[in-house]
A and B are shown apart, each in its own frame.
Chain A
């Protein structure tokens, strides 16, 4: 087991009170697993991604544990956490287009980052060049400034840079959202290739785009309002979803392979609950077509069949 997240609660502190962005998240990630993370905007996907590597100043770790390769990840302790960052847990951020220092040549910036993390750049130069070529980039990009690269090129540079130290866990937050379809595909293929070659052990791939997830992910986890709704192998989520929310999410897909986000997000009537004062019981009950009395109790996340978890009173087969 690579990653084990137990009852993770992370809140945003705001003037109006705590935003319960993650409110008891449970899941496990196996070695070599690529997990797609889906759900409507605001359900806490990015928050989960950030919680695994670095809490920003407004985020507070309230409860729960994270374990990576059998070791406790001290997420609330910024300093102790540093040991894991980049070496063990790495990130391709949602803003990969602007993740590079605009006034440094890319190669120099990578070298400075490596040095600051206690790695001698000369030890990885060869590997760096090889991997750049693997994703279809000329190693010459290292001599260029970020502005001289196209969006897709920057995305790939960030991907190579993020995985250079062979992290155990890679979090890719909407890493492909800003790219056109064919670039998306090649980036996604490179990611799978990186996993296959063991450059990263396992990966969490955050996206709105379920059809893209289906292409690359082994498993899919669907979140709703700060909780896990369902997690299962990708084909199960697409073809045989159990949780009512997942069913609506999949049912709202106009057709597999379509790419506009709006089409599928408008498909589900109603809006997710606010996380400042989340409702008690099942968080989906206001929009759930089959909600009943028992739903005012919080449904636990249970394994309804091997490798298939769901949090709904109606899915216990």
Chain B
């Protein structure tokens, strides 16, 4: 068990190092002068501030220091939580900017992933036992999974938000309000959250429902189901077993889907102008703010790795087969 975890952690660590290295390389080996292009976009009028910025970035991109020293300095900064200073919001540290965006992205992602997974699985399991439902869930599910994220998000924003006018379609909260722990502000957060959440939830739902339906049907035809039926076990028991066993591949599916889901979340944020990491990436791109870009990617990578690790652990806890293989247990 621990050896398995150790090995997994090792793999994650290597992935992390490689990702950070690539991340570090991109602005440095891009054609052109990164400092110049960053500063061009930064709209600073005060020449003194401009001077300070130029010095700072020249130092960080340290054209005089050898490249490996730059690399180690980058890592050292990373461990101090120092990701540099933003050019578009000079002189704010990148870490602060990102930490402000992260709760919005997580607030969107986690409920969308978890709820769509749970609801989709139950829905699919339910559909598997009901002909009429099955005939409706399946086509609807296929349509939903085939729907591009952007398109559904735009459709929702347009129909519910713009035409219907029920819910706001832009930003994370009403800009007329000052962030505070008040009912008014929280209500504003929720109404702004709802549409982006819904679009992600709906797109993900169909896939889980279809997957679960197919898995359940497969499990209900498995030998152990057949045998229990032959011994007269009630359908309730057989379904319970089938549901649990069908869940396991769905957990792996979650890990596999994670990248897609996160990409979808970033897109959704852009459509709804939601102040999370997705919008931040877009803004940083427009402003050539390499530090923010670097930092955001780093956060996304860390997030994906952590999520994968959690799913790994859950899988090990629920599937005895992996547990057995890990302890090398046999007779």
A residues in contact (CB < 8 Å) with B: 50, 53-54, 56, 81-87, 90-91, 93, 95, 98-105, 112-113, 116-117, 145, 147-150, 153, 162
B contacts with A, residue count (CB < 8 A): 26
Is B222 within 8 A of A98, CB to CB? Answer: yes
Check: B231 CB closer than 8 A to any chain A CB: yes
5 A-B pairs closest in CB distance: A85-B232, A98-B223, A99-B227, A86-B231, A145-B320
**What are 30 sample pairs from A and B whose C-beta atoms fall under 8 A apart?**
A56-B226, A83-B232, A84-B232, A85-B230, A85-B231, A85-B232, A86-B231, A87-B232, A90-B231, A91-B227, A91-B231, A95-B226, A98-B224, A101-B245, A102-B224, A102-B321, A103-B244, A103-B318, A103-B321, A112-B237, A113-B233, A113-B237, A116-B233, A116-B236, A116-B237, A117-B231, A148-B329, A148-B330, A150-B330, A153-B331
B residues within 8 A CB of A84? 232
- Most A CB atoms within 10 A — which of B224, B231, B324? B231
B227 proximity list for chain A (CB < 8 A): 91, 93, 95, 99-100
Q: A85-B230, A153-B331 in contact; A104/B223 too (CB < 8 A)?
A: no
Q: Considering the chains assembled together, what is the distance between the CA atoms of A162 and B232 in angstroms?
A: 12
Beta-carbon contact of B331 and A148 below 8 Å: yes
List chain B residues, Cβ under 8 A from A101. 224, 228, 241, 245
List which B206-260 residues lie within 8 A (CB) of chain A.
222-224, 226-234, 236-237, 241, 244-245, 248
Question: In the assembled complex, which residues on chain B have CB atoms less than 8 Å from the CB atom of A85?
Answer: 230-232
CA distance A150 to B329 in the complex (A): 12
* Chain B 291-331 near chain A by CB (<8 Å), digits 1 or 0: 00000000000000000000000000011110010000111
Q: Select from chain A the residue with minimum beta-carbon distance to B229.
A: A54
Q: Which residues of B are found within 8 Å of A100, using beta-carbon distances?
A: 224, 227
The answer to whether A113 and B231 touch (CB under 8 A), given A103-B319, A147-B321, A148-B330, is yes
Given contacts A113-B237, A147-B324, A150-B331, contact A54 B245 (CB under 8 A): no
Which residues of chain B are near A53, meaning CB under 8 Å?
A: 230
Residues in B neighbouring A81, C-beta threshold 8 A? 232
Q: What distance in Å separates the Cβ of B91 from its nearest Cβ neighbour in chain A?
A: 56
Q: A residues within 8 A CB of B222?
A: 98
In contact, B234 and A103 (Cβ under 8 angstroms): no
Contacting residues, chain A, for B324 (C-beta < 8 A): 145, 147-148
- Chain A minimum-CB-distance residue to B240: A112
- Give B192 Cβ to nearest chain A Cβ, in Å: 42
Smallest CB gap from B222: residue in A:
A98
**Which of these, B223, B233, B248, B321, contacts A117 with CB under 8 Å?**
B233
